[in-house]
Structure 1
């Protein structure tokens, strides 16, 4: 964990995301959760941030992570709540209660899927929602969160600055 919690962001992944790479690859692709976490850590580092990645299949654990983020004073949250996005008023209320800048991410385009996936409770508690970009959505979410919280690119670790 980072020494400065104000430079830490939480990347929270919900149910079934531990199955990435094998679960419905035609919808979610072949990247694994480890690939997602690596991408998040690398992207956060570009902005001088530390990504702390967690995954749980349990709604209450995710709520506890959101509460912990407030207690620890983290700078922001990237949340892929999976199916809980469409059902969890508890996650919505937790996010609203902590008032931490949050970006919701979905690997697939939830609006092009079954109608029950079109509504997201957690999106209403986030300042932005990104879907349909595959795991690159996490990179986009961290970039947007970094801009929101005023984190700037660390040119020593920014691969685009080295070109």
Structure 2
């Protein structure tokens, strides 16, 4: 069995579907994870969400050690966390950053991004579909055929 792809989410993503649906859409995080499991096929996924920065850092470290890749939506920590940045810089597996909205087209404080300089690629502004694109990218990076 291959190593899992870690799908990690930061603060407030547990509120997807109800929090500002005009920005983040109506899909819940579980809806997104369900679609990813189907798309993953036999590739195992480890899906997690936390509102705690240190826990997210620990999961990034775990994903680096035990996973094959990481799909990360650091949410607000994207704009504030040097700890997340440092964990990503130490990562030994590919990391794809995902954002439901396009932070570059939003508030000025969202223009700061500590995640992008430390990851393989960023997908932003495509809503929940961005997660599916990230998983397809991971499968390509891992040399698996798209299904």
Which TM-score tier does this pair reach, normalised by the shorter chain? over 0.9
Shift of the alpha carbon at 1:64?
Answer: 0.6
Corresponding residue number in structure 2 for 1:139: 132
Shift of the alpha carbon at 1:34?
Answer: 0.7
> Does the alignment pair 1:69 with 2:67?
no
1:148 to 131, 141, 144: 141
Shift of the alpha carbon at 1:68?
Answer: 1.1
Q: Distance in 2 between matches of 1:70 and 1:137?
A: 22
Corresponding residue number in structure 1 for 2:28: 32
Structure 1 gaps of 5+ residues are: 159-163
**SS class of match (1:57):** coil
**SS class of match (1:98):** coil
Q: Tell whether the 8 Å contact from 2:2 to 2:43 is kept in structure 1 after alignment.
A: no
**SS class of match (1:144):** helix
Corresponding residue number in structure 2 for 1:92: 85
**Which piece of structure 1 moves more, 18-27 or 118-127?**
118-127
Q: Distance in 1 between matches of 2:110 and 2:31?
A: 25
- Provide the TM-score with structure 2 as the length reference: 0.95
Residue-by-residue CA offset, 1:125-151 (whole Å, 9 max, x unaligned): 111000000000000111111111212
Corresponding residue number in structure 1 for 2:45: 51
Shift of the alpha carbon at 1:89?
Answer: 0.8
Residue-by-residue CA offset, 1:34-58 (whole Å, 9 max, x unaligned): 111112212222xx41111000000
Structure 2 gaps of 5+ residues are: none
Corresponding residue number in structure 2 for 1:129: 122
In the comparison of the two structures, how many residue pairs are matched? 147
Q: Distance in 2 between matches of 1:101 and 1:113?
A: 27
Q: Distance in 1 between matches of 2:64 and 2:18?
A: 33
Following TM superposition, the consecutive aligned residue runs of length 4 or more in structure 1 with deviations greater than 6 angstroms are: none
